[in-house]
Structure 1
Amino acid sequence: MKNIIVSSLEKSKSYPDYRTFVSEALQNNPQKLEIEDTMLPYATLNETRLKRLDKTTQIGEQSALKIQELKKSYIWLVITESWCGDAAQCLPILNKLAELSDLIDMRLVFRDQNLELMDLFLTNGGRAIPKLLVLDPETKEVLNHWGPRPAGAVAYVENYKATHGALDEAGKEGLFKWYNENKGEQIEEEVVAMMLDLDK
C-alpha cells in the first residue's frame, strides 16, 4: 500500500493547482481531463459550483478553533474527479479547513488515473468519491479516511434509492438541495471530529 500512496502523492496537486488545471482544461482542452465526453457537462456544471463555493464557504468558529489546535502534522490526500457532484460540494470545505492549519497539507489526485489507490478504499464495493485519506507525513500510513458523503447525504441517497430504485436526475437535484441547505456544516463537523480523535 505504501508504494501506491507514494506514487499517488507524486502525481498529486495542491488545491489551487487542481482548480487551475481543471478550469483551463475545460476552457481550452477538455481532453486533458481524460474523461468521457458524456461527463463534460457535469464537469462544467461543477466548475460553476466550485467557483461559487470557493467564494462563499465559511468554516464555523468552533470548528476553526479546533482545527487550529492540532498538534501533529498530516497530509490530506483527496481522491476526486472534475465530473463528481459530491466532490464539488465537499472540496471547498475541505480546502477551507486545511487552510486554517499549517499542519495540514492537502493534495488531490484524479480517481481514474489512480485506480490502484481508489480500489484500496472502496465504499460498498464501489469507487465512490470524494475520498479523503489522512496520512502520516513521515510513514505515509493511512491514519483514517472520510467520504464520499456526510452522513445526512448518505441517508438521503439510501432513502431515495429505497423509494425510487435508483438515484435518478430528480434524486440528484434533491441531494444537491440537501447540500445547499446544510451549507457544509456536517462535512465540517465530521472531518473536524475525525482529526481531533487522531490528534489525541
Structure 2
Amino acid sequence: MNFTDYLQLFENILQDADPKAPYNNPDYLNYTKLNWSRQQRWLKTGVITDAMATAVKNITTLQQWVIITEPWCGDAAHIVPFLYKIAALNPLITIDIQQRDTAPFLIEQYLTNGTKSIPKLVIRDGDGNDMAIWGPRPAGCQVLYNKLKEEKADFERMKIELQQWYNEDKGKSLQAELQEVLTQVQKVSLA
C-alpha cells in the first residue's frame, strides 16, 4: 500500500467501534492512538537535513522503498513519517508499505537477530532487487533499547525512555544512517 493507504488504515483502526485483533486489546488500541499523534507531529514538524535532502535528490535511478511496519509499533511512529518525507523529495522513489502481521509476511525474509522487529526499510532497485536493508531503529536508540532489556526494565520505563530518545534526536540519527545507506547504494548502482 502507499502512504495514503497506510494513513487510511490507521484511521480505520482508530474509528472502528469493534476493532479486530490485536486492536481489540485496549493496550494495542491505546498504543495506536499515541502512535497516530506522534506520526502526525513528525509529519508536521519533522525537518529533513540538507545533507539528507542532497543525498536523496542525487538518486538517479528508480528505487522502491518497502517499509514493513504496523500501526501499533512505537518505533515506526517516529521513523515512518521521516521515510515518507525523505522519499517524497525524489520522484524516482516509490513507497510500498507492507504490514508485518498480514500475508505475505514479508518480515520473515528480514528478521533482526531472529525477531520480527519493525520498522524495516528495504531499498530495491527498479527490477525489484534488494540493494539495502535498514532497521528497526537508529543505532543510538538500539543501544538504549538493549541497555533497558539487560536491566529488565518494565514496559512503561522502556516506552518512556525510548520516546524521550526519539523526541531529543528529532530524526537526525535516522537521517545520518539513511544518508550513509543511500551513499553506498548510489556507489553500487553507478558501478
Structure-1-length-normalised TM-score = 0.87
Match of 1:179 in 2: 166
Shift of 1:99: 0.6
> Residue 169 of structure 1 aligns to which amino acid in structure 2?
E
Q: Verify the 8 A CA contact 1:70 1:196 in the aligned structure 2.
A: no
1:94 aligns to 2:83 (yes or no): yes
Quote the residue 1:152 is aligned against.
140
Q: Which whole-Å CA distance do the structure 1 matches of 2:36 and 2:18 have between them?
A: 13
Deviation per residue, 1:104-130 (Å, 9 max, x gap): 101101110036311111111111000
How far has the Cα of 1:37 moved from its partner?
A: 2.1
For the residues of structure 1 that align with 2:103 and 2:171, how far apart are their CA atoms? 27
Which segments of 5 or more consecutive residues in structure 1 lack a partner in the other structure? 1-12
Correspondence 1:62 to 2:69: no
Separation of aligned partners in 1, 2:17 and 2:96: 23
Relative to structure 1, the CA distance from residue 123 to residue 177 in structure 2 (aligned partners, 3 Å threshold; closer, same or farther) is same
What is the CA–CA distance in structure 1 between the aligned matches of 2:139 and 2:113, rounded to whole Å? 15
Distance of 1:82 and 1:123 partners within structure 2: 19
Instruction: Please give the secondary structure, in 1, of the residue aligned with 2:118.
Output: coil
Evaluate the alpha carbon distance shift between residue 152 and residue 114 of structure 1 in structure 2; reply closer, same or farther with a 3 A threshold.
Answer: farther
CA contact (8 A) 2:120 2:134 kept: yes
Q: How does 1:1-200 map to 2 (within 5 A)?
A: 13-28=1-16, 31=19, 34-38=21-25, 39-114=28-103, 116-138=105-127, 140-162=128-150, 164-166=151-153, 168-200=155-187
Counterparts of 2:154 and 2:38, CA distance in 1: 20
Specify the SS of the correspondent of 2:166.
Answer: helix
**Cα pair 2:65 2:124 within 8 Å, conserved:** yes
Cα–Cα, structure 1 residues 30 and 68, in superposed 2: closer, same or farther, change >3 Å?
farther
* Paired residue secondary structure (2:144): helix
Pair 1:80–1:170, CA change in 2 (3 A): same
Where 1:23 maps in the other structure, the secondary structure is: helix
Q: 117-126 vs 17-26, which deviates more?
A: 17-26
Please, what is the CA RMSD of the aligned residues?
Answer: 1.6
Alpha-carbon spacing, 1:178–1:72, altered in 2? closer, same or farther (3 Å)? same
Structure 1, residues 21-40: CA drift from partner, whole Å, max 9, x if none? 211331135636x5242211
Q: What is the SS of the residue equivalent to 2:133? A: strand
CA contact (8 A) 2:13 2:23 kept: no
TM-score normalised to the size of structure 2? 0.91
1:70 aligned partner, one-letter code: I
Q: Residue 113 of structure 1: SS of its match in structure 2?
A: coil
Bigger fraction of residues in helix: 1
List per-residue Cα deviations over 1:107-161 (Å, max 9, x = no partner): 10111003631111111111100000111222x1111100000000000111122
Corresponding residue SS for 1:112: coil
The count of residues paired between Structure 1 and Structure 2 equals 185
